[in-house]
Amino acid sequence: MTPDAPRKPSPLPAKPLDTDKLQRLCSEIFAPWVQALDLQVRALEGSELTLALPVTAPHVHAGGVLCGQTLMAAADSAMVLAISAQLGGFQPMTTVQLQTSFLRPVPGDAGEVQVLARVLKLGRQLVFGEIECRLASGTLAAHATTTYALL
Protein backbone atom coordinates (compact mmCIF):
# COMPACT_ATOMS: atom_id res chain seq x y z
CA MET A 1 0.00 0.00 0.00
CA THR A 2 1.42 3.38 -0.94
CA PRO A 3 1.19 6.30 1.49
CA ASP A 4 -1.38 8.00 -0.76
CA ALA A 5 -3.55 4.91 -1.25
CA PRO A 6 -6.98 5.06 0.38
CA ARG A 7 -7.26 2.98 3.54
CA LYS A 8 -10.16 0.85 4.58
CA PRO A 9 -12.15 2.85 7.15
CA SER A 10 -11.77 1.73 10.74
CA PRO A 11 -14.86 -0.15 11.99
CA LEU A 12 -15.85 2.26 14.72
CA PRO A 13 -18.28 0.79 17.19
CA ALA A 14 -21.76 1.86 16.17
CA LYS A 15 -24.82 1.68 18.35
CA PRO A 16 -24.81 -1.99 19.39
CA LEU A 17 -27.61 -4.25 18.28
CA ASP A 18 -30.05 -5.39 20.94
CA THR A 19 -30.57 -9.04 21.90
CA ASP A 20 -33.73 -9.40 19.79
CA LYS A 21 -31.95 -8.22 16.64
CA LEU A 22 -29.00 -10.49 17.40
CA GLN A 23 -31.35 -13.46 17.84
CA ARG A 24 -32.91 -12.73 14.43
CA LEU A 25 -29.42 -12.47 12.95
CA CYS A 26 -28.85 -16.14 13.90
CA SER A 27 -31.44 -17.26 11.36
CA GLU A 28 -30.18 -14.83 8.72
CA ILE A 29 -26.43 -15.53 8.68
CA PHE A 30 -25.77 -18.99 10.14
CA ALA A 31 -25.91 -22.22 8.17
CA PRO A 32 -28.91 -24.49 8.86
CA TRP A 33 -26.83 -26.96 10.92
CA VAL A 34 -25.69 -24.09 13.19
CA GLN A 35 -29.28 -22.88 13.49
CA ALA A 36 -30.16 -26.41 14.66
CA LEU A 37 -28.03 -25.77 17.78
CA ASP A 38 -30.92 -23.51 18.89
CA LEU A 39 -28.58 -20.88 20.36
CA GLN A 40 -30.40 -18.32 22.47
CA VAL A 41 -29.05 -14.77 22.87
CA ARG A 42 -29.35 -14.02 26.60
CA ALA A 43 -27.43 -10.80 27.19
CA LEU A 44 -25.31 -8.11 25.60
CA GLU A 45 -23.28 -5.85 27.88
CA GLY A 46 -20.64 -3.67 26.26
CA SER A 47 -18.30 -5.92 24.31
CA GLU A 48 -19.64 -9.13 25.94
CA LEU A 49 -22.37 -11.33 24.55
CA THR A 50 -23.90 -14.31 26.34
CA LEU A 51 -25.61 -17.20 24.56
CA ALA A 52 -27.32 -20.27 25.94
CA LEU A 53 -26.50 -23.54 24.19
CA PRO A 54 -29.10 -26.23 24.95
CA VAL A 55 -27.53 -29.64 25.58
CA THR A 56 -29.64 -31.98 23.44
CA ALA A 57 -29.35 -35.64 22.49
CA PRO A 58 -28.16 -35.07 18.88
CA HIS A 59 -25.07 -33.31 20.27
CA VAL A 60 -24.18 -35.84 22.97
CA HIS A 61 -21.77 -38.55 21.86
CA ALA A 62 -21.50 -42.18 22.94
CA GLY A 63 -19.50 -41.18 26.03
CA GLY A 64 -22.57 -39.38 27.39
CA VAL A 65 -21.06 -35.89 27.08
CA LEU A 66 -21.55 -32.94 24.76
CA CYS A 67 -19.41 -33.10 21.61
CA GLY A 68 -16.47 -30.74 21.52
CA GLN A 69 -17.45 -29.80 17.97
CA THR A 70 -20.75 -28.48 19.29
CA LEU A 71 -19.00 -26.30 21.87
CA MET A 72 -16.62 -24.95 19.23
CA ALA A 73 -19.49 -24.13 16.85
CA ALA A 74 -21.34 -22.33 19.66
CA ALA A 75 -18.18 -20.42 20.63
CA ASP A 76 -17.50 -19.36 17.04
CA SER A 77 -21.13 -18.31 16.55
CA ALA A 78 -21.17 -16.32 19.79
CA MET A 79 -18.11 -14.36 18.69
CA VAL A 80 -19.60 -13.60 15.28
CA LEU A 81 -22.63 -12.14 17.07
CA ALA A 82 -20.48 -10.21 19.56
CA ILE A 83 -18.48 -8.67 16.71
CA SER A 84 -21.67 -7.87 14.79
CA ALA A 85 -23.05 -6.13 17.87
CA GLN A 86 -19.93 -3.98 18.11
CA LEU A 87 -20.12 -3.11 14.41
CA GLY A 88 -23.82 -2.24 14.60
CA GLY A 89 -24.72 -5.04 12.20
CA PHE A 90 -23.31 -8.06 10.44
CA GLN A 91 -20.29 -7.55 8.21
CA PRO A 92 -18.78 -10.46 6.31
CA MET A 93 -15.92 -11.98 8.33
CA THR A 94 -14.02 -15.20 8.57
CA THR A 95 -12.48 -17.07 11.45
CA VAL A 96 -8.69 -16.94 11.18
CA GLN A 97 -7.92 -18.82 14.39
CA LEU A 98 -9.96 -20.56 17.09
CA GLN A 99 -7.85 -22.11 19.85
CA THR A 100 -10.02 -24.10 22.24
CA SER A 101 -9.08 -25.75 25.52
CA PHE A 102 -11.60 -28.24 26.91
CA LEU A 103 -11.29 -28.12 30.69
CA ARG A 104 -14.00 -30.59 31.71
CA PRO A 105 -16.72 -32.60 30.01
CA VAL A 106 -20.24 -31.25 29.72
CA PRO A 107 -22.64 -33.99 30.90
CA GLY A 108 -25.39 -34.96 28.48
CA ASP A 109 -27.97 -33.97 31.10
CA ALA A 110 -26.44 -30.53 31.81
CA GLY A 111 -29.47 -28.68 30.41
CA GLU A 112 -27.54 -25.83 28.85
CA VAL A 113 -24.14 -24.23 28.58
CA GLN A 114 -23.60 -20.48 28.93
CA VAL A 115 -21.31 -19.17 26.18
CA LEU A 116 -19.73 -15.78 26.92
CA ALA A 117 -17.91 -14.08 24.03
CA ARG A 118 -15.78 -10.99 24.62
CA VAL A 119 -14.39 -8.73 21.91
CA LEU A 120 -10.93 -7.83 23.18
CA LYS A 121 -9.75 -5.67 20.26
CA LEU A 122 -11.71 -4.45 17.27
CA GLY A 123 -9.27 -3.39 14.57
CA ARG A 124 -9.67 -2.29 10.97
CA GLN A 125 -9.07 -5.75 9.55
CA LEU A 126 -8.70 -8.10 12.53
CA VAL A 127 -10.76 -8.72 15.63
CA PHE A 128 -9.44 -10.54 18.69
CA GLY A 129 -11.64 -12.19 21.26
CA GLU A 130 -12.06 -14.82 23.92
CA ILE A 131 -14.90 -17.17 24.74
CA GLU A 132 -15.86 -19.03 27.92
CA CYS A 133 -18.25 -21.98 28.01
CA ARG A 134 -19.68 -22.51 31.48
CA LEU A 135 -21.95 -25.08 33.09
CA ALA A 136 -25.07 -23.88 34.92
CA SER A 137 -23.06 -24.03 38.16
CA GLY A 138 -20.64 -21.46 36.71
CA THR A 139 -17.85 -24.02 36.31
CA LEU A 140 -15.66 -23.34 33.29
CA ALA A 141 -15.93 -26.19 30.77
CA ALA A 142 -14.01 -24.68 27.84
CA HIS A 143 -12.03 -21.56 27.01
CA ALA A 144 -11.14 -20.26 23.55
CA THR A 145 -9.18 -17.43 22.03
CA THR A 146 -9.95 -16.32 18.54
CA THR A 147 -9.07 -14.02 15.67
CA TYR A 148 -11.38 -12.94 12.86
CA ALA A 149 -10.66 -11.11 9.63
CA LEU A 150 -13.21 -8.53 8.54
CA LEU A 151 -13.81 -8.94 4.82
List pLDDT tens digits, range 104-126.
999 999 999 999 999 999 999 99
Which residues partner with 129 through β-bridges? 119, 146
Q: Supply the pLDDT for residue 131.
A: 98
In Å, how far are 3, 7, 105, 114, 121 from 39, measured between CA atoms?
Answer: 45, 36, 19, 10, 24
- Domains identified in the chain and CATH numbers: 19-150 (3.10.129.10)
In Å, how far are 48, 57, 82, 93 from 42, measured between CA atoms?
Answer: 11, 22, 12, 23
Q: How confident is the model at residue 4 (pLDDT cuts 50, 70, 90)?
A: low
First-to-last CA distance in the chain?
A: 17
